[in-house]
Structure 1
Amino acid sequence: MPATIPILDLGPLLEGRPGALEALGAELRRAFTEVGFYFVRNHGVPQPLIDAAFDAAARYHAQPLEAKLAMPFNEHNQGYLPMRGNTTRMNAVDGIKKPNMNEAVFFKRELPLDHPDVLAGKRFRAVNQWPANLPGFRETALEYAGAMEKLGKTLVPIYAAALGLPHDWFDDKFREPMFTLRMTHYPQQEPTSAEDEWGLAPHADTSFMTILAQNKVPGLSIRLPDGTWIDAPALEGCFLVNGGMMLRRWTNQLFLATPHRVTNRSGQERYAIPFFMDCSYDAVMAPIPTCVSKTNPARFQPFTYLDFMSEYSGANYGERGRSAAGVELQGA
């Protein structure tokens, strides 16, 4: 395994050992200023649940296309996105490529029909769509999302420590995090397929935090700050975590949003279950005070999850990413 990707051991933190948070904060700061990715081990998420989530993703995508299309991807970024259904634009690296060679289904926090945000029609706060004939699928997806949210909230104080902030600085901003569970299918790509056709084109994530379960089928590559691409190692019992453009903007560009890509030439079908976690819907993100100085003044205006994700969705999903008002928002 390349020594470039740090490994954070959560065991001491979960056991409540003195100084654990400060030590992890120093490791995370190095990870995000030098690499942009890190592993976590001893995270407390049961392996059988992770295996069940991978199995659920495979079961979902094994359905007939008609069953998947019955859950169309919508303006809330929920539902089924068909093969080659999006093109990486706003967060593209090295130019816009062909539409991505994958299919995916997206779920957010489970909200009831009578939730105030649902009744008010707030964008990205809608009711999930679920497959009609997959017994146990919904329960598995929600259990896995719940475990990922718990892990993400465990990690957030480490970010505060890494940034020289009080350990509870992010608490009010992550009271009810926005999140997306994406279950993706990458079909086999022929070795002779076009060089600019990717399972997922080189890009930076949008999220504050992406938590990725380790995949037995290879395909993920990471671009290090020196421009070198490396195949992401798969460490048993670990999650791979990275930050995206939201984290980079919030930290006034102190932390990296490292590009990565997926190509499946493994000879097998590949499934991925990334979990994207962000701050609460109404939290206002202004450049973090410890990331602003006379030599590095604030580079961005304050923004919210809705501001940021509306811009991203319109750029990358086109017609499917139109706002509720029907106006397509252009990416930067």
Structure 2
Amino acid sequence: MEDTLSSSSLLPHIDLTKDPKALEPGTPQWEATSRDIRQALETYGCFLVDYDSVSRELREAMFEEMESLFALPAETKRKAAEGLPRTSVVLPGQDPDAYAPLHQVLTTVGVQEPEVAQALTELLWPDGNDKFRQALQSMSKKMGELALALKKIIFQSYGLNKYCDSHSDTTETNFNMTRYSAPMNNEPTDRLCEHIDSSFITILCENDVDGLLTKSSKGQWHQVILSNNTFIVLAGFLIRAWSNGRLHACPHKVIVRGYKARQSCALFLRAKGDQIVETPRELVDEDHPLRFKPFRYQDFRQYSVAHRFAEDSLDKFAGV
């Protein structure tokens, strides 16, 4: 791995802050952005994106409130997960054989909605915590808006924007807050083993502790360093299946060092559990024969979890 490690400066970088027309369908800026994103995902399976709708103040508030979240007693977090539908928590040491044994994570669906954010906050802090609720709701909402805009751009890049609205009806967003413990030395230490997300796309931001590495379609690892205004977008298994293998589902892992915990929050755009994932007929032709059979997302999700989201999971589960 050390022989092929490169800096994130080599990864494609999309700036959505310079020109608001970059997110306006039909403009030359939109067309250029669409082309650049498609090329990035085909080769790297990821790209860095500057997006100023999420302010530095909101990022700082989100990570500050995550510190409060992870400092709560384990039983409090466990009861909150049990009390809110489609919410789960992983605690350190909960599964020593897991591919990330020394991290904790709380994940849930729908927290961009005020009532869901309020319900989760009340379960965690019965006396209330408005700062956490507001940061959680705002961050998940703005990251969700970015995810939907990027999905629309990707569809457009293949001339398939007519499918975008119907596709949105079958997808949902999952918000994930993660803390990786510090190794308390300067030796590189694995905190999350190599895997691919079972999503269409994942949008990730982090605190000031770097550690994410991504692998391109050519097998080269890139160390990711994010600035205050930058997210990384990762292609998952589902968009690889949807694109008939044209887009590279991005393997990634987390390696940290030092004395400060790494925190990240991620938004996963994924299919609803009972939805069928399949390749549009327009992406199948003589030069690109069908690579994946249609499959129900929930079934694939269970398979990929059991196989720790290994790089060959999609091919083994749904390959033609």
With the length of structure 2 as denominator, give the TM-score of the two structures. Answer: 0.80
Q: Does 1:41 align with 2:56?
A: no
- Quick check: 2:90–2:106 contact (8 Å CA) kept in 1? yes
For residue 137 of structure 2, the aligned residue among 138, 142, 145 is 142
Question: Which residues of structure 2 form unaligned runs of 5+?
Answer: 1-6, 310-315
The offset of 1:47, in angstroms, is: 2.5
Aligned to 1:51, what secondary structure does the other structure show?
helix
For residue 32 of structure 2, the aligned residue among 23, 26, 40 is 23
- Quick check: 1:84–1:101 contact (8 Å CA) kept in 2? yes
Equivalence map 1:122-201=2 (5 Å):
130-133=123-126, 135-136=129-130, 137-165=132-160, 167-175=161-169, 177-191=171-185, 198-201=190-193
Aligned to 2:163, what secondary structure does the other structure show?
coil
For residue 234 of structure 2, the aligned residue among 238, 242, 245 is 242
Q: Does 1:82 align with 2:91?
A: yes
Equivalence map 1:1-332=2 (5 Å):
2-10=8-16, 11=19, 12-14=21-23, 18-72=27-81, 78-85=87-94, 99-110=100-111, 130-133=123-126, 135-136=129-130, 137-165=132-160, 167-175=161-169, 177-191=171-185, 198-280=190-272, 283-316=275-308
Question: Which residues of structure 1 form unaligned runs of 5+?
Answer: 89-96, 116-126, 318-330
What whole-Å deviation, never above 9, does each CA across 1:37-64 have from its counterpart, x for those lacking one? 1122244222322222212211100112
Distance 2:12 2:213 in 1: 16
216-225 or 134-143: bigger deviation: 134-143
> After TM superposition, which residue ranges in structure 1, 4 or more long, deviate above 6 angstroms?
73-76
Distance 1:176 1:47 in 2: 32
Distance 2:66 2:282 in 1: 40
Aligned to 1:258, what secondary structure does the other structure show?
coil
Higher strand content, 1 or 2: 2
- Quick check: 2:199–2:271 contact (8 Å CA) kept in 1? no
Letter of the structure 2 residue corresponding to residue 220 of structure 1: L
Aligned to 1:53, what secondary structure does the other structure show?
helix
Distance 2:82 2:305 in 1: 11
The offset of 1:204, in angstroms, is: 1.1
CA RMSD of aligned residues (A): 3.2
- Quick check: 2:201–2:236 contact (8 Å CA) kept in 1? yes
Letter of the structure 2 residue corresponding to residue 131 of structure 1: L
Distance 1:73 1:146 in 2: 23
- Quick check: 1:174–1:280 contact (8 Å CA) kept in 2? no
Distance 1:75 1:297 in 2: 43
Distance 2:305 2:255 in 1: 23
- Quick check: 2:201–2:235 contact (8 Å CA) kept in 1? yes
Aligned to 2:63, what secondary structure does the other structure show?
helix
After superposition, the Cα gap between the structure-2 partners of 1:98 and 1:108, relative to the gap in structure 1 and judged at 3 Å, is closer
What whole-Å deviation, never above 9, does each CA across 1:264-312 have from its counterpart, x for those lacking one? 2132011110111124555532113343222332122223433332333
Aligned to 1:206, what secondary structure does the other structure show?
coil
Aligned to 1:296, what secondary structure does the other structure show?
coil
Distance 1:111 1:47 in 2: 19
Instruction: Give the count of matched residue pairs.
Output: 295
Aligned to 1:252, what secondary structure does the other structure show?
coil
Letter of the structure 1 residue corresponding to residue 240 of structure 2: R
- Quick check: 1:212–1:275 contact (8 Å CA) kept in 2? yes
Higher helix content, 1 or 2: 2
Percent identical:
23
Distance 1:249 1:162 in 2: 16
Aligned to 2:59, what secondary structure does the other structure show?
helix
The offset of 1:78, in angstroms, is: 1.9
